[in-house]
Amino acid sequence: MKPALLFISHRIPYPPNKGDKIRSYHLLRYLSGHFRIFLATFIDDENDWQYTATVRSLCEDACFVRLDPGSARLRSLRGLLTGEALSVPYYANRQLGEWVNTQVETHGIQRVIVYSSAMAQYVMTFPGRFTRKVIDFVDVDSDKWQQYAKKKSLPMSWIYRREGDRLLEYDRGMAALFDASLFVCSAEAALFRKLAPGAREKIGFYNNGVDTGYFSPEHDLPNPYPGGCKALVFTGAMDYWPNVDAVIWFAQKILPLIRMEAPQVTFYIVGSNPKEPVQQLHTLDGVVVTGRVDDVRPYIRHALAAVAPMRIARGIQNKVLEAMAMSRPVVVSPQGLEGIDAVNEREVLRADTEQDYVRYTQALMNGEYSELGKAARARVQSDFNWEHILPTVKALLETDSSNL
């Protein structure tokens, strides 16, 4: 019989249509082949309830709890009184905690993997119970909150800065208690080693992977763009503030410069739940906001290029990897390229300045960098293969390891 594994995640690991779900789904799917999974997770999008049967098929048992973002935000304010990071009470839930306690006691579960640090609170009720404890922080979220603080005015800048400080303190404590702390790339792991030197020997990473069979240029996909359109496409969840910040900046500051030289260029913003400021971009010349689409691949496949003008970022941008996998040129900021060891002007086009976006767009329209897409796909196939990556996590759950 396979050993039991408690898998705790802040969000249902399906469908794999956004960064955190892509990673958690592939992790769950892989580990289900080696462990009997007991999954505890939240659902914060009503549309995701339809996927519970799919997720249950990978588990021996699972608990799904509705998380209302509005109520959770109010609950998180408790942290202002207790001094803790607001993210911790945001995910506090008695029902989920009781289910976890019952499963651990009933099945004698001795291994646990936590996906997202705020969920580690559900492990702390069992001091000494687990023989192996692994936490996937994914990104250094405390640093992301500090980046947010620099972009906001009072009082939000104070709240975000406080959250960055408190969350780092909390994360340091969790890293000390867990056997292994994992991140999405070597750069994130290196940063956290500097921030939590006491746990540096237990800090490692595993890259995200890409399904290069699904994200492939070989598929016959319909062209969603009107004739004569030269599309620059941005894909991603459009209720995620770094994405919102990126597309607003690009649409308002960069696109007009591009269209002065090439008025046929149109900026397509493709992603679910666009916030009001993103929806308003539709009024600008040359901007289209699609909202949720059933399949992002046609938009990538038939674009002149994908753009990832991230100004705030932590970890790996799946939007960049997916476009590279589909052999499309990607014009990307240095922040958006973190964790991807790609060669500039051979596998990606790194835009360090505003004029770089203009220059590279014009070059692509002139037929330059024609071999870049092929090289980009080869890089993804080499470095971002789930089957090569995930055995690292399995090994950490089975035995001690010093090879982080």
Question: Rounded to the nearest 10 degrees, how much is the dihedral formed by the CA atoms of 40, 43, 49, 51?
Answer: -60
**Residues shown for the chain:** 404
pLDDT tier at 83 (50, 70, 90 boundaries)? very high
Task: Provide the number of structural domains found in the chain.
Answer: 2
User: Is residue 324 included in any domain, yes or no?
Assistant: yes
Cα gap 324→380, rounded to integer Å? 7
* Mean pLDDT across 87-96: 98
Cβ-in-10-Å burial (0-12, 13-18, 19+) of 79 comes to buried
* Mean pLDDT across 16-22: 91
User: Is residue 47 included in any domain, yes or no?
Assistant: yes
- The CATH number of whichever domain residue 183 belongs to comes to 3.40.50.2000
Q: How far is CA 167 from the centre of its chain?
A: 18
User: Is residue 161 included in any domain, yes or no?
Assistant: yes
Q: Do residue 201 and residue 270 come from a single domain? A: no
**CB-CB contact of 9 with 36 (8 Å):** no
Closest CA to 315 of 178, 175, 195, 192: 192
Residue 58 pLDDT exceeds 90: yes
Q: Calculate what percentage of the chain has a pLDDT beyond 70.
A: 99
Q: Do residue 274 and residue 152 come from a single domain? A: no
Q: Do residue 92 and residue 160 come from a single domain? A: yes
Q: Do residue 234 and residue 190 come from a single domain? A: no
The pLDDT score that the predictor gives to residue 404 is 62
User: Is residue 223 included in any domain, yes or no?
Assistant: no
**CB-CB contact of 369 with 363 (8 Å):** yes
Q: Do residue 45 and residue 171 come from a single domain? A: yes
* Mean pLDDT across 175-189: 96
Cα gap 134→112, rounded to integer Å? 6
Q: Do residue 274 and residue 394 come from a single domain? A: no
Residue 286 pLDDT exceeds 90: yes
Cα gap 104→110, rounded to integer Å? 8
Closest CA to 339 of 305, 313, 300, 309: 313
Show the tokens assigned to 89: 């009470």
Residue 403 pLDDT exceeds 70: no
Q: Do residue 133 and residue 272 come from a single domain? A: no
Cα gap 343→345, rounded to integer Å? 6
In this predicted model, what pLDDT tens digit does every residue of 299-352 receive, in sequence order? 999 999 999 999 998 889 999 999 999 999 999 999 999 999 999 999 999 999
pLDDT tier at 230 (50, 70, 90 boundaries)? very high
Average pLDDT, the chain: 96
The pLDDT score that the predictor gives to residue 377 is 98
**CB-CB contact of 197 with 173 (8 Å):** no
Residue 111 pLDDT exceeds 80: yes
Q: Do residue 391 and residue 361 come from a single domain? A: no
User: Is residue 216 included in any domain, yes or no?
Assistant: no
Residue 402 pLDDT exceeds 60: no
* Mean pLDDT across 252-275: 97
Q: Do residue 150 and residue 264 come from a single domain? A: no
- CA 71, 73, 75, 77 torsion: positive or negative? negative
Q: Which domain holds residue 269?
A: 230-383
User: Is residue 197 included in any domain, yes or no?
Assistant: yes
* Mean pLDDT across 340-366: 98
The pLDDT score that the predictor gives to residue 400 is 60
Q: Do residue 342 and residue 393 come from a single domain? A: no
Residues near 188 by beta carbon (within 8 Å), at least 6 away in sequence: 137, 138, 139, 140, 205, 314, 315, 338, 339
The pLDDT score that the predictor gives to residue 361 is 98
The pLDDT score that the predictor gives to residue 126 is 80
User: Is residue 215 included in any domain, yes or no?
Assistant: no
Q: Do residue 261 and residue 194 come from a single domain? A: no
User: Is residue 296 included in any domain, yes or no?
Assistant: yes
Q: Do residue 178 and residue 241 come from a single domain? A: no
Cα gap 67→42, rounded to integer Å? 6
Residue 275 pLDDT exceeds 90: yes
Sheet of 287-291, strands arranged across: 287-291, 265-270, 230-235, 305-308, 330-332, 349-350
Cα gap 25→164, rounded to integer Å? 27
* Mean pLDDT across 226-243: 96
* Mean pLDDT across 356-381: 98
